[in-house]
Structure 1
Amino acid sequence: MKWNYAFREVVIIRVSRRSLQLTIIVLSGYQLLTGDLRFMPLPILLLGLLFIVMGINEVRKDKLNIWGYVSFITAAFLFFVTLQLLLNVNTLNK
């Protein structure tokens, strides 16, 4: 029973990581091709979520690994950038 729970947890992390990666690539490609920057905070927010998922995965593998904690710090910075972009939304429309 314990193995089944751990397997499910790994699958959930993999699926969420892949879906976040695909969504970020699609949104960034759309912005690059069209030049429409109205949705700029969304890929940055999703990138922050992706770094959280990667950090969780790294910490689960090895608690002494520094890269898991660096991922959490990077995610916090990306959330801060997203918040700043959302508060200054008029600068994106110029």
Structure 2
Amino acid sequence: MNINPEIIGFIAGGMSSALFIPQIIKIIKEKSAEEIALLTCIIGIVSSGLWLWYGIMQEHISMMVTNSISIVATGVLIVLKLIYDKEKN
């Protein structure tokens, strides 16, 4: 069986990107982002940004797509964190 590595990349990257969705939903429902560490989000964006850059250099579409999604999802977490922390204070 010969599986295209890009398919594996899309599955793995898609699962990694999907990790953020339950957290985003929880934050919106509870209107609180206390449990989110801003530093963790910043590290996540930098990491995904570097993986995106690597994917672009290597021309791996799966890395480009999935890390772009991760950057957006982590950006949403940061925005929600800033909004709800501001409302709390």
| TM-score with structure 1 setting the length | 0.48
What's the counterpart of residue 82 of structure 2?
A: 86
What's the counterpart of residue 44 of structure 1?
A: 41
Which consecutive aligned stretches of 4+ in structure 1 deviate over 4 angstroms post-superposition?
90-93
1:55 aligns with 2:52: yes
* CA distance, structure 1, for counterparts of residue 88 and residue 63 of structure 2: 32
| Alpha-carbon distance, 1:90 to partner | 6.4
* CA distance, structure 2, for counterparts of residue 38 and residue 70 of structure 1: 25
- Structure 2, unpaired ranges of 5+: 1-33
* CA distance, structure 2, for counterparts of residue 66 and residue 40 of structure 1: 28
* CA distance, structure 2, for counterparts of residue 92 and residue 68 of structure 1: 36
**Taking structure 1 as reference, are residues 57 and 92 closer, same or farther at Cα in structure 2, changes over 3 Å only?**
farther
1:72 aligns with 2:58: no
| Alpha-carbon distance, 1:92 to partner | 8.3
Q: How many residues align?
A: 56
Larger Rg: 1
- What residue identity is the alignment partner of 2:58? K
Measured against aligned partners, the alpha-carbon deviations of 1:30-79 in whole angstroms (never above 9, x if no partner) come to: xxxxxxx68811211221121011111111112x5212221011111101
Over the aligned positions, Cα root-mean-square deviation in angstroms equals 2.7
